[in-house]
Amino acid sequence: MTSEEIDIKFQEAVERINAYDGKFPADFLLRLYAYYKKATNNYGRPSSRKQIINAFKTNALFQVKDVSEDDAKQIYIDLVNNYFLYRK
């Protein structure tokens, strides 16, 4: 898959997550957060009011530090697809 195709699929996956009204498991949200931040090259500090949540987010970002942007997008896409495939 080309970078352009990955970008399109990534945006579709982001839209799918944003459109979903249900609740996601916390560990799933942390993985999405980390791969989204890596995929979009957005390394701003976590901004939760709770320090423990910021610590979890920072740890999640640290765990994906060696992943390329395209790989992060593909992993994000796979996470979303697998979640909606197996959630029931």
CATH number at residue 66: 1.20.80.10
Distance CA 71, CA 10 (A): 11
**Structural domain harbouring 18:** 3-86
Distance CA 85, CA 52 (A): 31
Distance CA 21, CA 52 (A): 25
Q: Tell me: pLDDT of 79 over 80.
A: yes
2-46 pLDDT tens trace: 889 999 999 999 999 999 999 999 999 999 999 999 999 887 777
> How many domains does the chain fold into?
1
Residue reference for tokens 């799918």: 16
Q: What angle do CA 87, 62, 49 make, to 5 degrees?
A: 75
Q: Tell me: pLDDT of 87 over 80.
A: no
